[in-house]
Amino acid sequence: MDMDFNVKKLVRDAGTAISRVVQLTEEKLGTSEKTELDAHFENLAERSDTTKLWTEKILRDTEAVLTPNPGNRVEDFLFEKIEKKRPNRLTNLEYLGLDMIEAGNEFGPGTAYGSALVKVGQCEQRLGQTEREFISSAGQCFIQPLRKFLDGEMKTILKERSLLESKRLDLDACKNRLRKARSMHSQQNAEKDLRVAQSEFDRQAEITKLLLEGISSSHASHLRCLHEFVEAQVRYYDQCHHIMQELQRDLSSLSLKTPGVTPFQATTSHTENHPETPKSGYQRARVLYDYDAKDATELSLMADEVITICEISVDETDYFMGERGSQKGKVPKAFLEIINP
């Protein structure tokens, strides 16, 4: 019995599909009537199509700017679909910074080139972290709302427009049957079907029109998102500029110690040929192990670099006060080896 029902349904659906194809073909040839929607509705529909097209393009372009690697974009998309957290990747700047620091430690942080590599590497890492924060911020304030619009409101609009087209075809099919009706009975049935089809079409047209009119509020929402995206970019570039200015000052301060000498030469003259004599009460110490500062009062250390230290107080037995160029902070004594003059 179920099989008979499924076969009948299949035949019925196939018949409907064929009659629709015939109807659409006749409309294109101009041999069949087609109900047209009013100019206002057509304008709304056109604006909806344009909004969809350009929102998709802007979304793709923004994603390409924030995540240039297409493989990473595909991976992020897949992780999103399976509702798993996307991998926390390092940026290219962070990879560059890591390799610069490692190279600087290999060449020797006490050498001119090694110390410069370490300093620039640390700066590249900061730039990379800032870039990662910007990518996250831009994703939340701009990409996510646009994607939500396309996956939500726009899909609903397309669904309702498709349903409206189906109702329009039903309506025109009823008009065609009424026109071809020969007997009084078939004419009455055709008129009844036409009234129902007209009512359903009008109702669907009104629903679709309301949804299309909502595109205006979507534009207003996307405008706010655009402002937020620009603000995120302003903060990002401002932070990058600040980081680079700090690096420029740090490198320039090395050259100021020996006028007329480049920062690299200045470092060489102090550390290799003529070690700088520490100020009174200060000593030079070599770092034994890497150390990450716990807070702003401490100084991060890298194995094998040479810094200047002094006692903090007679009561402080675990820490020295350390200096590296313009940087200053507490450093643990256990991580240092004092260099005898």
Mean pLDDT of 31-50: 88
pLDDT range class, residue 258, cuts 50, 70, 90: very low
pLDDT digits (tens, 9 = 90+) for 164-221: 999 999 999 899 889 888 899 889 999 999 999 999 999 999 999 999 999 999 999 9
- CATH number of the structural domain 34-243: 1.20.1270.60
Q: Is the pLDDT score of 49 beyond 60?
A: yes
Q: How open is the CA angle 22-28-31, to the nearest 5 degrees?
A: 75
What is the residue extent of each domain of the chain? 1-32, 34-243, 277-339
Query: 32 versus 127: which is more confidently predicted?
Result: 127
- CATH number of the structural domain 277-339: 2.30.30.40
Residue 123: burial class (beta carbons within 10 Å; 0-12, 13-18, 19+): buried
pLDDT range class, residue 34, cuts 50, 70, 90: confident
Q: How far apart are CA 341 and CA 321, in angstroms?
A: 19
Looking at the DSSP assignment, which residues form a beta bridge with residue 291?
301
Torsion angle of C-alpha atoms 141, 143, 148, 149, degrees rounded to 10: 100
Q: Is the pTM of this model over 0.85?
A: no
